[in-house]
Amino acid sequence: MIRIFIGFDERETVAWHVLTHSILARSSQPVAFVPLALNNLQGVFTRQREALQSTDFSFSRFLTPYLSGYEGWSLFMDCDMLVRRDIAELWALRDERYAVMCVHHDHRPKEAVKFLDQPQTPYGKKNWSSVMLFNNARCKALTPEYVSTATGLQLHQFKWLEDDGLIGAIPPAWNHLVGYSEPMPGAANVHYTLGGPYFDEYRDCEHAQAWVDERLAMLRVDQRTKASA
């Protein structure tokens, strides 16, 4: 079973559902989805929303090991993504030498705002935490208390680990940053980090049509064919 925790923000509800459909449609192994919705985390996640927080799951993503009982492996993903290959390929990259695995981006945004006029905050290791394979037993520092009180940089720069040598790398194709990375027609996981095609201003971005097609596929329902007279 591939456990997949996906950030949920009600302003991008359609993105969450299209992402899960894209995974289901291509996965060769059973998957289990957990939406990290704040109304489901009452009593566990007590952090107040901050001015620089761009989504509801900016920090709650780090509860993934706790919610997994600190057992086995789990995958976290932002919701503004589209998976275009078998998620089992990513799952197969798990390496017990590491506590967490992610794409090691050199992401240096120049703009001050992104979708819905949310702040764009530059920092080291930016977007590393948007796709993470957690080796849960080695992430016990991520308690609900720590995640609710640690600074944003402590969390997103993996300061909760003893050293950066515990951060394994996965191929860039599994977190392709639309609008930042060089175009990648064969991207395994498309990340609409500036804003997805469901926002008018980004409807012509790279891989926009792929997202539109996936949404249409998700809405499919076959009707009974009427018997001819």
Predicted local distance difference test score (pLDDT) of residue 56: 87
**Is residue 14's pLDDT more than 60?**
yes
pLDDT tens-digit readout, 21-43: 999 999 999 999 999 999 999 98
Quick one: average pLDDT of 103-128? 68
Greatest mean pLDDT range, 38-42, 90-94, 220-224 = 90-94
* Local confidence band at 53 (pLDDT 50, 70, 90 cut-offs): low
Residues forming a β-bridge with 3: 32
Q: What is the pTM of this model?
A: 0.89
- Judged against a pLDDT cut of 60, whether residue 229 lies above it is answered with no
**Domain range summary for the chain, segments of one domain joined by +:** 2-218
Tokens of 64: 């993934």
* Residue 107 vs residue 80, higher pLDDT: 80
Residue 139 φ then ψ, to 5° = -125, 35
Q: What is the mean pLDDT of the chain?
A: 92
From CA 163, how far away is CA 135, in angstroms rounded? 15
Backbone angles phi, psi at 149, to 5 degrees: -125, -20
Q: Could you tell me the CA-to-CA distances from 113 to 42, 128, 155, 190 in Å, in that order?
A: 29, 19, 21, 20
| Residue 79 CB-half CA count within 13 A | 25
Q: What is the mean pLDDT of residues 171-179?
A: 96
- Note the Cα 214 to chain centre separation in Å: 17
Mean pLDDT (whole number) for 190-216:
96
Instruction: Choose the weakest-confidence range: 41-55, 128-142, 159-173.
Output: 41-55
The whole-number pLDDT of residue 114 equals 55
Residues 210, 190: contact at Cβ < 8 Å? yes
**Could you tell me which CATH number the domain at 2-218 has?**
3.90.550.10
Amino acid at 211: W
pLDDT of residue 111: 53
Average pLDDT over residues 103-112: 71
pLDDT grade for 98, boundaries at 50, 70 and 90: very high
Q: Please report which confidence band the pLDDT of residue 204 belongs to, taking 50, 70 and 90 as the band edges.
A: very high
Q: For 210-220, how does the pLDDT look when each residue is reduced to its tens digit (9 = 90+)?
A: 999 999 999 99
